[in-house]
């Protein structure tokens, strides 16, 4: 099993077990009648963890995109303008999806 598959499997296990406290029973009131502070569920951790994974994925994708584009430009300098335009468009699409995923991850914190 390669390192990426191990990382993805470990990430899925962490996300699966961090959502369990969200389904736990609410704490009972204290014997004195005072309200007990509810524990903070780990669902907020999984949203932050998901945002981190999205950011790492986008960074890896844009890094691979730029690496391939620069290698192509070095091999064929006459088409560097076309390659650079395509690279900028692809990077903008990756960033757009990244921002959307971050909004989805961080909006799920309060729910």
Tell which wins on pLDDT, 99 or 110.
99
The answer on pLDDT for 70 being more than 80 is yes
Q: Which of 87, 80, 41, 85 lies closest to 61 in space, CA to CA?
A: 87
Residue 11 has what pLDDT? Answer: 79
pLDDT digits (tens, 9 = 90+) for 9-40: 887 776 666 655 555 555 565 566 566 566 65
CA 89/CA 76 separation, integer angstroms: 20
CA 21, CA 39: separation in Å to the nearest integer? 9
Beta carbons of 108 and 47 less than 8 angstroms apart? yes
Question: Which CATH number does 3-21+40-107 carry?
Answer: 1.20.20.10
Higher pLDDT, 82 or 13: 82
Rounded to an integer, what distance in angstroms lies between the CA atom of residue 95 and that of residue 58? 7
């Amino acid at each position: 099993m390669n390192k990426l598959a191990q990382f993805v499997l470990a990430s899925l296990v962490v996300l699966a077990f961090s959502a369990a406290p969200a389904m736990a029973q609410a704490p009972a009131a204290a014997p004195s009648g005072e309200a007990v502070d509810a524990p903070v569920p780990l669902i907020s951790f999984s949203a932050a963890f998901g945002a981190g994974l999205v950011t790492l994925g986008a960074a890896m994708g844009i890094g691979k995109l730029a690496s391939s584009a620069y290698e192509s430009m070095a091999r064929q300098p006459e088409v560097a303008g076309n390659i650079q335009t395509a690279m900028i468009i692809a990077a903008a699409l990756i960033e757009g999806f990244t921002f959307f995923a971050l909004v989805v991850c961080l909006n799920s914190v309060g729910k």
